[in-house]
Amino acid sequence: MIALYTDPRCLDHAAPPGYPEVPRRLRSILETLDAWGQAPRAVVAAGHPHAAAAVAALHSAEYIQRFQRAVERGDGILDSADNPISSKTWDAAWGAIDTVLAAADAVATGERVFAAVRPPGHHAEADRAMGFCFFNNVAVAAEYLVRHHGLDRVAIYDFDVHHGNGTQHLFETRGDVFFASSHQFPFYPGTGAAEERGLGDGRGATLNVPLAAGTGDAALRTALDEEILPALQGFAPQALLISAGFDAWREDPLGGLQWSEETFHYLGQRLASLAEEVCAGRLFSVLEGGYDLAHLPRLVQSYLEGIIDFRA
């Protein structure tokens, strides 16, 4: 089994007509996983004691204040048209943070977890919102594992169709957090070229594997088995975090890759195997993208089935 972490506040971030990152994304995933029964929900208490410090460790105070004031004023967007805000967006963003921190506490004890949250996070930079994202959930969790739980090496692998620019930039000068990404390129947000390998002390702790539009299962599996997994294995992290985006699915309206459902299952199996080998099974997946509402819940379940099947 795998523990499911979520917070009802994540459903309260309202979306304007035509906006793809809608509450139904999360609601349908939760309904499907509840019916499946192999991912029991954990209790997440609002107001994690380290939430404010964890966010402030990566996001600037000016940005956090600006985000809060924009919501309180009733502004319609924050920083870009890709980031509409409503009266509950601030609360939803903190619901996601409370969730990933509670999940990180569980991962530190050896659990395998899936954090089903929104808004997503991997595009959020230190000082601005981008691409539907406000706080960088996976990055905040990784930094919390380093600072609060004393881990020396944490790895993040992002398989969303869009490059996790925010996550890369937050850690690219450091050697204690390894960031790997497979993504469509060239594509939004414009980052993620293979030449981007980190800076200064972080040189070599970033791995980007860009994939051309139309790339299907075979190319991803080759990249995973020949580049990404060996690099993660060589880094030997004490916890493996996954930015789990499902918009590389062949029918996703915002993606141009052609992955099948079976590839998400394969990802789950291979990542669970790696986590078992290098970090005592500490595998922490955080929901990012995925906008084909008809198929998204099944894709998430297939990925989690892959994780569980490894232990079957």
User: Which residues form the catalytic set?
Assistant: 123
Residue at 131: amino acid letter: G
Element (DSSP H or E) covering residue 90: helix 89-108
Q: Which pair of structure tokens corresponds to residue 79?
A: 């920083």
For residue 307, give the nearest of 26, 36, 95, 97 by alpha carbon. Answer: 36
The beta-strand segments (E) located in the chain are 3-5, 77-78, 80-84, 113-115, 154-158, 177-184, 206-211, 239-244, 283-287
The distance of Cα 277 from the centroid of its chain, to the nearest Å, equals 22
Rg from Cα positions in the chain: 17
In whole angstroms, give the CA distance from residue 39 to residue 243.
18
Residues 102 and 141: their CA atoms lie apart, in Å, by 9
Tally of CA atoms within 13 A in the half-sphere of 129 that contains its CB: 25
| Beta-ladder partners of 209 | 182
Tokens at 93, concatenated = 């963003």
- Neighbouring CB atoms inside 10 A of 56's CB total 12
